[in-house]
Structure 1
Amino acid sequence: MRADAVRNLDAVLHTGARLLADDPATSIATIAAQAGVDRRTVYRRFPTRDALLSAVYVAKLDASEKVLDEARLTEAPVVVALHRYVESIIPVSRQWPLHLRRLIRQDPEAAERADAQTGRLRDFLARAVDEGLIRADLPDGWALATLGRLVDNAAHDFADLAPGRAADVVVSTFLDGVGKR
């Protein structure tokens, strides 16, 4: 693919992610205009908004997969792996703001990938429980949901925090809470 075509595709995917996160009914023409490309360019690559949405989800899944791999969830010490994961997933969440929950009805194959990624995180958090870093008496899925909400808050509600600082806050809050005892 030519360099300008790569740039155009990247602009369309990122613009589409941002606009579709705000309004799922955003038109291809609006996305093209915001991305600075002709709508025919977008339609050649993505004949429907659903095709574009699927491509955005796949791009987010690819980026998330890379984060999971680089965090070394099964090899690195839990706190180190957790920090690596959070510090790297926050920019992914900012760059690809669409929630994967919408993916299930959009693309079953991509939904399967998202489930596999969630499974990797669930296994990692089970390891954290086994090592005594997370309470074992929490309801099933509580730690995973809490981590997800903390990452989402850091990525979107505190967008001015640099990823490293945001990861410090998220990891500290996740492992230690916010209260003083």
Structure 2
Amino acid sequence: MSAPTPPRPVRADAERNVARILEAAKIVLAEDPTASLERIADEAGLARATVHRRFSSRKALLDTLFAQLDEQYRRALEQAKVDTSPPLIALHRVTELVMEIKFSHRLIVDVVNGTNSGHGFLSDEVQEGAKLLFSRLHAAGTITAACPSWCLRVYLAILDVVHQLPPGAPELGAGDDTAARTDLQVSTVLGALGGPGPQ
């Protein structure tokens, strides 16, 4: 009986290469949103053929970055317990988590979102979670806007503006930047959707 053949390390090497490519893509695309796969390969320190083997096109690479980002949004909705927490608390918590995601992946969020229109960059699962939250806010009387799709569009439009504010902007006031942006986002969204608005 022959000794078992040891497992080949190809899978682990491939996974490491994919991670290197994605990290390089975040750096390169932050500098140049139109950068080619070849430029990303150079940044990753990998042969261009290796990058092309893992990602057949620039779109395939962006789709993978999108999937990673979407998974973080999905986890944010889950952590905020949008289906069971008091809806206003859930809105505040999910906004806080989304702000953290947008700042930790600021430039790649802009690149990925920039390749899509409206809220098409969000998966159906993430959109449905967000719409559930807005439906619950309406049912609780926190907002008067009754259409969850409209509420999500308003939320995302305001989020883009709040996210783009420079640090120290008068609208943010003093204190922790993420907390200030979260408070500004929530109060503005509530005001826009027929809620109490800023207190």
Normalising by the smaller structure, the TM-score range is: 0.7 to 0.9
Question: By how many angstroms is 1:4 displaced?
Answer: 10
Call closer, same or farther: CA 1:61–1:132 in 2, change over 3 Å.
Answer: same
1:162/1:34 CA distance change after superposition, 3 Å: farther
* Residue number in structure 2 paired with 1:108: none
Once the two structures are overlaid, the 10-residue window that deviates more, 72-81 or 162-171, is 162-171
Structure 1-normalised TM-score?
0.73
Question: Of 45, 49, 52, which aligns to 1:43?
Answer: 52
2:84 to 68, 75, 93: 75
In the alignment, which residue of structure 2 is the partner of 1:175?
190
Q: Is the Cα contact below 8 Å between 2:188 and 2:197 reproduced in 1?
A: no
| Rounded Cα–Cα distance in structure 1 between residues aligned with 2:154 and 2:28 | 26
Alignment-derived partner of residue 91 in structure 1: 100
Gaps of 5+ in 2: 1-10, 169-175
Name stretches of at least 5 consecutive residues in structure 1 with no aligned partner.
105-110
Structure with higher RCO (Cα < 8 A, 6+ apart): 1
1:22 and 1:148 map into 2 onto residues whose CA distance is 24
Structure 1 position 141 matched with structure 2 position 149 = yes
Aligned residues: 173
Paired with 2:167 and 2:37, the residues of 1 have a C-alpha distance of 27
- Please report how far the alpha carbon of residue 118 of structure 1 lies from its aligned counterpart in structure 2 after TM superposition: 0.8
Residues 171/117 of structure 1: CA separation in 2 closer, same or farther (3 Å cut): same
Residue 69 of structure 1 and its aligned partner are, at CA, apart by 0.7
Give the Cα separation in 1 of the matches to 2:177 and 2:121: 31
Higher fraction of helix: 1
- Please provide the CA RMSD for this pair: 3.6
- Which residue identity does 1:64 align to in structure 2? Y
Please name the residue that 2:135 is paired with.
126
2:42 aligned with 1:33: yes
**Equivalent pair of 2:76/2:94 in contact (CA under 8 Å):** yes
CA distance in 1, matches of 2:81, 2:148: 23
Maintained 8 Å contact 1:78/1:128: yes
- 92-101 or 51-60: bigger deviation: 92-101
**Partners of 1:31 and 1:21 in 2: CA distance:** 11
C-alpha separation in 1, matches of 2:153 and 2:46 = 38
Shift of 1:62: 1.2
1:100 and 1:114 in contact (8 A); partners too: no
Supply the distance in 1 between the matched residues of 2:86 and 2:40 (Cα, whole angstroms): 42
